[in-house]
Amino acid sequence: MSSARRRVTPAERRARLAERHLLAAGTKATDTTEVVDALVALHATDPATVYLSVASRLPGATREEIEDALYRPDLLLRTTCMRQTLFVVGRDLAPAVIAASGRAAAAQRTKGLLRIIRESEVGDEQWLERVGHDVIRVLRERGSATTAELAEAVPGLEQRFALSPGKKYESSSTVAAFLLFILAAEGRIMRGPRRGGWTSNMHAWTPGPEFEDFPETEGRAELARRWLASFGPGTVDDLKWWTGWTVTATRAALADVGAVEVELDEGVGYVLPEDLEPPRAEPEAAAMLLPGLDPTPMGWRHRDFYLDPDHRPALFDRMGNIGPTVWWKGRIIGGWAQRSDGEIAWRLLPGVDPGQEAHAAISAAAEQLTDWLGDARFTPSYRTPLERELAG
């Protein structure tokens, strides 16, 4: 049976990646929503990543133009979903994402919070429901509010409790820290306009929009379909890692979209039924400087087809977060960082020599990024060995 599977080589996977993730010449997007749709979702844990991921694929776009789209809820939404992580997703995909990942994350956090508040004698399930309703009521009345403003307006949010009491790593937290995460994962509230500069994590909360009711299985199928269209072919491990689902749920979602088996270096991979044909032509190469946590390098668990395993230690932190990377022909060939004077410093990975054309293209891309940033300075939220070294 395995002999009947079509073989998809690493070179073909890189060609698909370069074209579909807008990393090839002539594949640039025309607006921010096109970038988000091409990548399914943008990692938003690090505020700078969202802007830089878009800017690298949207020539000529200013930070102001990107921000205008990022904070238009009729176009894009920031929500907690896959792997309990903050993403920017298209408004049309948000109901499926919340059904596929958000609700499960909310249920898990709710269970933990209820146990804590009962043990701490802070409240019970009915008390927590009342506090949640009050949060939504205040947001509807005000339109938006920060966590601090909500804590002042909603009794109970400011309640503190101990985490891991009696342990040497004991700490404390608040009901707000847990409950706002839960409400956001359920789609009942959303991260609204930022407070501060473009790299600030400070933001307001807004009421969640009215979503169509998506069953969990349908949400998973839709999310799997979108991931395969953008990241496929990929393995069960890849999709499981990207979504945070169980193996059983991942296999069920692949079956629901009729995913077809193909042969990869890593073993069995999957593509959509209509996506079995290889690219018609090799995408034209373009040098790309992608930020840390960019969706492309964070899209698979198995990364050997675009990154030499020997180079991982320089580019990832201990938690598995990738730093800024240099791309050429669908492959990571280097890293980069912004220095304190604004210069974009880059370096090829050991043993990599892509040729003079690539060198010239990378230098030009670094100059363009320097000009785009101007006086703005940023430091990645998750720093990696090569980024630290280049930043000086």
Place 2 in a pLDDT band, splitting at 50, 70 and 90: very low
336-380 pLDDT, tens per residue?
Answer: 999 999 999 999 999 999 999 999 999 999 999 999 999 999 999
Residue 63 lies in a domain: no
Residue 310 tokens read as 């020997």
State residue 68 phi and psi, 5-degree precision.
-60, -40
Residue 181 lies in a domain: yes
Residue 48 lies in a domain: no
Residue, of 3 and 178, whose pLDDT is higher:
178
Of the residues 207, 241, 260, the one at which a domain ends: 207
Q: At what angle do helices 32-39 and 63-70 cross, to 10 degrees?
A: 60
| pLDDT score for 164 | 75
Tokens 């060939």: give the residue: 333
Contact indicator for 215, 99 with CB cutoff of 8 Å: yes
Of the residues 207, 224, 257, the one at which a domain ends: 207
**Mean pLDDT for the chain overall:** 94
Q: Mean pLDDT throughout 16-41?
A: 95
Q: Which long-range contacts (CB under 8 A, 24 or more apart) does 347-355 make?
A: 347/386, 347/390, 349/308, 349/311, 349/314, 350/310, 350/311, 351/308, 354/328, 354/329
**Which value, in Å, is the radius of gyration of the alpha carbons in the chain?**
22
Q: Of the ranges 59-68, 84-93, 168-177, which one carries the lowest mean pLDDT score? A: 168-177
Of the residues 172, 207, 242, the one at which a domain ends: 207
Tokens 């700078």: give the residue: 48
Class of residue 147 by CB neighbours under 10 A (exposed 0-12, middle 13-18, buried 19+): middle
With a cut of 60, say whether residue 3 has pLDDT above it.
no
Whole-number Cα distances in Å, 84 to 70, 102, 193, 214? 20, 7, 21, 19
Distance separating alpha carbons of residues 148 and 129, to the nearest angstrom: 20
Q: What angle do CA 190, 193, 195 make, to 5 degrees?
A: 125
With a cut of 80, say whether residue 79 has pLDDT above it.
yes
Q: Could you count the other beta carbons within 10 Å of the beta carbon of residue 217? A: 14
- The total of structural domains in the chain comes to 2
Q: Quick one: 103 and 200 in the same domain?
A: yes
With a cut of 70, say whether residue 388 has pLDDT above it.
yes
Residue 118 lies in a domain: yes
Residue 218 lies in a domain: no
| pLDDT score for 169 | 75
Distance separating alpha carbons of residues 269 and 282, to the nearest angstrom: 21
Q: Mean pLDDT throughout 230-235?
A: 98
124-151 pLDDT, tens per residue?
Answer: 999 999 999 999 999 999 999 999 999 9
With a cut of 50, say whether residue 1 has pLDDT above it.
no
Whole-number Cα distances in Å, 381 to 200, 292, 293, 315? 11, 8, 9, 14
Distance separating alpha carbons of residues 43 and 242, to the nearest angstrom: 11
Residue count of the chain: 392
Identify the domain containing residue 367 by its residue range: 288-391
Contact indicator for 143, 206 with CB cutoff of 8 Å: yes
Residue 174 lies in a domain: yes
Q: What angle do CA 64, 196, 140 make, to 5 degrees?
A: 90
Q: Which amino acid is at 339?
A: R
Which are the contacts of 231, defined by CB distance < 8 A and separation ≥ 6?
A: 17, 20, 40, 238, 242, 299, 300
266-321 pLDDT, tens per residue?
Answer: 999 999 999 999 987 888 999 999 999 999 999 999 999 999 999 999 999 999 99
With a cut of 60, say whether residue 30 has pLDDT above it.
yes
Place 194 in a pLDDT band, splitting at 50, 70 and 90: confident
Residue 376 lies in a domain: yes
Residue 249 lies in a domain: no
